[in-house]
Amino acid sequence: MEKPLIVQKFGGTSVGTIDRIAQVAEHIIQAKNDGNQVVVVVSAMSGETNRLLGLAQQIDAVPSARELDVLLSAGEQVSMALLAMTLNRNGYSAISLTGSQAGIVTDSLHNDATIKTIDTSKIDELLAQDQIVIVAGFQGVNEKGDITTLGRGGSDTSAVTLAGALNAKECQIFTDVDGIYSCDPRVVKGARKLPTIDFPSMTQMAKRGAKVLHLPCVEYAWKNDVPLRVLSTFDVNEGSLVKGEMCLSDVSGIAIARDLVSIEIQPEHEEQVIKQCQMIGIEVWNVIKKAEWTGIVIKQDASAKLALVFNDKIRNSEAVSLLTVVGLQAKELLHLSCKLLEEQGVTVNYYEQACQCIQLVVPPECVDKAANILHDSYITQSGSIDIQQKHALLG
């Protein structure tokens, strides 16, 4: 009988030093010794992708998207080779593959590509030889053979798509926190660890900035029924499982998005600017509609690209952050949220409702305080997520 297969992904902090790579190797060896076939996906060592990006930006504020992919994909190639060497030295046969060697084919949207297909024949062959296969995350190749990358945080998506293509029993995302929390635990100390989180809530959290999972990773796992677990590289526990088609919590969690900028334009230019953003691959996070002006909220690092096209139409720009409350009852909490924040001195620049969530645009210096205020009121002081935990216990 064929051995079960698991895909394990290790993020940047987990492979950040040679000592940490040794810890990562222990997890892989454990899984292998437990009788699994193991495919591993790695990110670049922590800070490396930003370092490479910084080098490119010393040359050009908006470097060629194709060349940027060639450059950024190098980060993952370093960590995959170091990990393979570590496993080999420990007596385990391991081989590293680039995205292209692993058969990962994407569309041609450089810097934000989508995986189209994975030809697993090479990986299958190596697994049949009892090798541990290590694949570079975040990268693939388009039909022309050019290297592409999947957007920041994209190694999660590489892992889950490989898990789907290989029919793995689980995709395990190892990171620097021990699971998915009701809010970023680095910001809200009392955030609750969620043993399970439903797909709709996780999708909203990922979409609105909770970077613990890359959005396409969650979407793929949901659509293709891939068991998806988040757990710590530095601790042994069950982590959190993303599971369930329905949101059962009044408030599932709060997501924070930083490094955003609101680009002020005249209201009559809104449609044209949004269309242009779509064409050049800039994600619009929010549209602030005021009587006199419209604010297009995008990532700060995309603003130079937008300015190339629209410099004459941009009146002003302002750094902002976005706070999103996710859950069944979130919509009912819009006015209360604004009131709670204003009472404690946090200016809410803009607010709106969306699918099972509310979004609040706040000044960047207030976003952590705002997240704590809302988390205290809606999660710490209420039993709302207990509904979800009860369901998890009942299976």
Q: Measured at CB, which residue is nearest to Mg ion?
A: 153
Tell me if 378 contacts ligand ADP by CB under 6 A.
Answer: no
Q: Which is nearer to ligand ADP, 10 or 105 (CB)?
A: 10
Q: Around Cβ 355, how many Cβ atoms within 10 Å?
A: 11
Q: Choose one: 150-158, 239-247, 334-342, 344-352; the region binding ligand ASP (CB under 6 A).
A: 150-158
Question: Which SS3 state, helix, strand or coil, does residue 322 take?
Answer: strand
Q: Around Cβ 35, how many Cβ atoms within 10 Å?
A: 8
Tell me if 10 contacts ligand ASP by CB under 6 A.
Answer: no
Among 6, 7, 8, 11, which residue sits at the site for ligand ADP (rule: CB under 6 A)? 11
Q: Choose one: 22-30, 169-177, 218-226, 383-391; the region binding ligand ADP (CB under 6 A).
A: 169-177
Q: Which residue in this structure is represented by tokens 């090798």? A: 131
Which residues touch 63 (CB under 8 Å, ≥6 apart)? 56, 57
Tell me if 49 contacts ligand ASP by CB under 6 A.
Answer: yes
What's the CA angle centered on 37, arms 221 and 11, to 5 degrees?
A: 55
d(CA 115, CA 223): 14
Q: Measured at CB, which residue is nearest to ligand ADP?
A: 11
End-to-end CA distance of the chain: 29
Write down the least CB distance from residue 198 to ligand ASP, Å. Answer: 23
Residue 135-154 contact track with ligand ADP, rule CB under 6 A, x = bound: ------------------x-
**Spatial contact of 384 and 378, defined as CB atoms under 8 Å apart:** yes
- H or E element that contains 172: strand 170-175
Q: Which is nearer to ligand ADP, 54 or 267 (CB)?
A: 54
Among 13, 43, 172, 384, which residue sits at the site for ligand ASP (rule: CB under 6 A)? 43
Residues 42-71 that bind ligand ADP (CB under 6 A): 43
**Spatial contact of 221 and 242, defined as CB atoms under 8 Å apart:** yes
Tell me if 153 contacts Mg ion by CB under 5 A.
Answer: yes
Given the DSSP bridges, would you call strands 228-232 and 170-175 parallel, antiparallel or unpaired?
Answer: parallel
Among 67, 176, 219, 283, which residue sits at the site for ligand ADP (rule: CB under 6 A)? 176
Write down the least CB distance from residue 10 to ligand ASP, Å. Answer: 10
Residues 2-21 that bind Mg ion (CB under 5 A): 11
Instruction: Give Rg (Cα) of the chain.
Output: 22
> Which two tokens mark 390?
């009860």
Write down the least CB distance from residue 149 to ligand ADP, Å. Answer: 14
The site partner of 176 among ligand ADP, ligand ASP, Mg ion, none (C-beta below 5 to 8 Å per kind) is: ligand ADP
d(CA 313, CA 51): 32
**Spatial contact of 171 and 214, defined as CB atoms under 8 Å apart:** no
Tell me if 152 contacts ligand ASP by CB under 6 A.
Answer: yes
Residues 189-248 that bind ligand ADP (CB under 6 A): 205, 210-212
> Which two tokens mark 10?
């290790």
d(CA 5, CA 39): 8
Q: Which is nearer to ligand ASP, 12 or 209 (CB)?
A: 12
Q: Choose one: 170-178, 261-269, 365-373, 384-392; the region binding ligand ADP (CB under 6 A).
A: 170-178
Tell me if 181 contacts ligand ADP by CB under 6 A.
Answer: yes
Tell me if 327 contacts Mg ion by CB under 5 A.
Answer: no
The site partner of 186 among ligand ASP, Mg ion, ligand ADP, none (C-beta below 5 to 8 Å per kind) is: ligand ADP
Count Cβ atoms within 10 A of the Cβ of residue 194 and give its class: 0-12 exposed, 13-18 middle, 19 or more buried.
Answer: buried
Q: Which is nearer to ligand ASP, 51 or 289 (CB)?
A: 51
**Spatial contact of 311 and 284, defined as CB atoms under 8 Å apart:** no
How many residues belong to the site for ligand ASP (CB under 6 A)? Answer: 12
Q: Which is nearer to ligand ADP, 11 or 103 (CB)?
A: 11
d(CA 282, CA 276): 8
Which residues touch 170 (CB under 8 Å, ≥6 apart)? 6, 7, 163, 227, 228, 229
Residue ranges that bind Mg ion, judged by CB under 5 A: 11, 153
Binding interface with ligand ADP (CB under 6 A):
11-14, 43, 153, 175-177, 180-181, 183-186, 205, 210-212, 253
What is the binding site for ligand ASP (CB under 6 A)? 11-12, 43-44, 49, 75, 137-138, 152-155
